[in-house]
Structure 1
Amino acid sequence: MLSIGRSVLVTAAPLVLAVAGWVHPHGLSRTTAEEWAHLHIVLLPVFPLLPVGLLALLWRRPRRDLAGVATVVVWIAAFAYAAYYTGLDAVAGIAAGTTVEHAPQNADLGALKQPLYDTGDALGHVGAYALIVAVVAAAVALWPRHGIRVLPGTAVLLLSGWSFIDSHIFWPRGVFTMLGFALGFALLDWAVTGRRPGADRT
């Protein structure tokens, strides 16, 4: 895969999510409910793509050693992230927005939203922790060939992953979290672009 093309691939999802976070409503109310729900419908296929920044770098990794085991862990954790974070998007985004949009005028919006937020947050936390596991496993998989070069990107991704647990994509922290993911993926892409002198090129 060409380096420039791969760089675009690994940074595309977090950059799109950063832009979405910039325009995301700051709160869910009757006036923002339609925009809230529609934005999360648009983002439904985007959130699961966040781990592509790791998976693209691990394509064709060795399969019969520690790096291979770590690669399998990355794929499993990436799947868990995609499944559970999509749940957050569907419940606290689409469902909550639709519920508020069509709630009766005398309805207690807080009582309607909170159970959806609680369920969505629980799903999102599982997804975010799974993404952190994927980052650690990716570093283990990449270390044998690229060594210390993987550390800067891994550090940025771990900080972003930790922030992601409760920041979602909301401005301001969530937007900077997504930009952090883009930077971290770009740094890992840089780390694997060149190989160590004497590294196995087969």
Structure 2
Amino acid sequence: MSTPTVRTPGVAALVAAAALPALALAVLGSSHPAVLTPESAAWWRDLHVIGLVLFPLLALGPWAVVRAARPAGPLGWVLEGLAIVLGLVYAAFYGALDALAGIGGGHETMRLGPGPWVAALFEIADALGIQGAYAYLAASVLAAVLALVRAPGTWRLLAGVGAVFAVVGAWSFLTSHIYWPFGVATMVMLAIGHTLLVVAATRPAGPRRAPTGHRAVAAA
């Protein structure tokens, strides 16, 4: 009896989902102001308006890996569901950081100038954002472990390299955001890591080698 397979999107689509959002955030982060000031406030705000679209898409990276690597049957649906839930938690809580400290902080600095309200706004933004970042880390760990288990043969080595990039990048994301240079490097690591995991997880297992020799069949 043949082993049931799980229909997945094309490899190219999964690779695009794993790589493009992180790379777009890397490009965006290369111009992220280091400090919020009245002079940088306008781009600080506008940059995070763009981030409202791009940051949630970052959750596609771990999902693409899980989608590529999940086994058939109920366990596969549970694992993919868990990846989706973690992605939603990440998008919601990290989106709050983006809106409060990014859009709100930039806009109010343009209107009011620097003041003690900046630290208060960043405090609640960071408290919410870190919850989303931890959810993203959990999703990346889930994706890495699943790809390592499912990658066939020597492709598991590629999965191991991808796991290092993805998990280290997700850990760095806890504190780096997308600031230059560490945040930009973090996004590049996530793009590389999740892409390698997708590629490794979608490789077909090699054909079984036929046994050497043969049994003599005694004639009756």
TM-score of the two chains, using structure 1 as the length reference: 0.87
Listed as ranges, the matches of 1:86-125 within 5 Å are 86-103=95-112, 109-125=114-130
1:2 and 2:7 matched: no
Task: Show CA shifts across 1:31-71 (max 9, x none).
Answer: 11111111101110110010211222333743423x44332
Tell me which residue corresponds to 1:137.
142
- Structure 2: which 5+ residue stretches go unaligned? 1-8, 209-220
**Mapped partners of 1:32, 1:145: distance in 2:** 47
**Mapped partners of 2:199, 2:93: distance in 1:** 29
Shift in alpha-carbon separation, 1:64–1:142, aligned structure 2, 3 A: farther
Write 1 or 2 for the structure with the bigger share of helix: 1
1:193 and 2:196 matched: no
Tell me the C-alpha RMSD between the 2 structures: 2.0
**Mapped partners of 2:176, 2:102: distance in 1:** 14
**Mapped partners of 2:204, 2:130: distance in 1:** 35
Letter in 2 for 1:26: A
Tell me which residue corresponds to 1:35.
43
Q: Are the counterparts in 2 of residues 63 and 69 from structure 1 also a CA contact under 8 Å? A: no
1:75 and 2:80 matched: no
**Mapped partners of 1:196, 1:130: distance in 2:** 31
- Structure 1: which 5+ residue stretches go unaligned? none
The one of 56, 60, 74 equivalent to 1:64 is 74
The 4+ residue runs of structure 1 with deviation greater than 6 A are: none
Tell me which residue corresponds to 1:15.
23
Between Structure 1 and Structure 2, whose CA radius of gyration is higher?
A: 2
The one of 171, 175, 179 equivalent to 1:166 is 175
The one of 51, 55, 59 equivalent to 1:51 is 59
Identity of aligned residues (%): 35
Letter in 1 for 2:129: G
**Mapped partners of 1:177, 1:93: distance in 2:** 19
User: For 2:112, what is the secondary structure of its paired residue?
Assistant: coil
Letter in 2 for 1:59: R
**Mapped partners of 2:79, 2:27: distance in 1:** 32
Tell me which residue corresponds to 2:214.
none
**Mapped partners of 2:16, 2:160: distance in 1:** 21
**Mapped partners of 2:197, 2:147: distance in 1:** 9
Task: Show CA shifts across 1:60-106 (max 9, x none).
Answer: 743423x44332221111111011000110011001111111006xx
Letter in 1 for 2:51: L
User: For 1:45, what is the secondary structure of its paired residue?
Assistant: helix
User: For 2:151, what is the secondary structure of its paired residue?
Assistant: helix
Count residues with an aligned counterpart: 194
Task: Show CA shifts across 1:1-57 (max 9, x none).
Answer: 333343223211000100011011111111111111111011101100102112223
User: For 1:95, what is the secondary structure of its paired residue?
Assistant: helix
1:184 and 2:193 matched: yes
Using the TM superposition, name which of 112-121 and 169-178 deviates more: 112-121
In the TM superposition, residue 151 of structure 1 has moved relative to its aligned partner by 2.4
In the TM superposition, residue 120 of structure 1 has moved relative to its aligned partner by 1.1
Q: Are the counterparts in 2 of residues 92 and 120 from structure 1 also a CA contact under 8 Å? A: yes
**Mapped partners of 1:138, 1:68: distance in 2:** 14
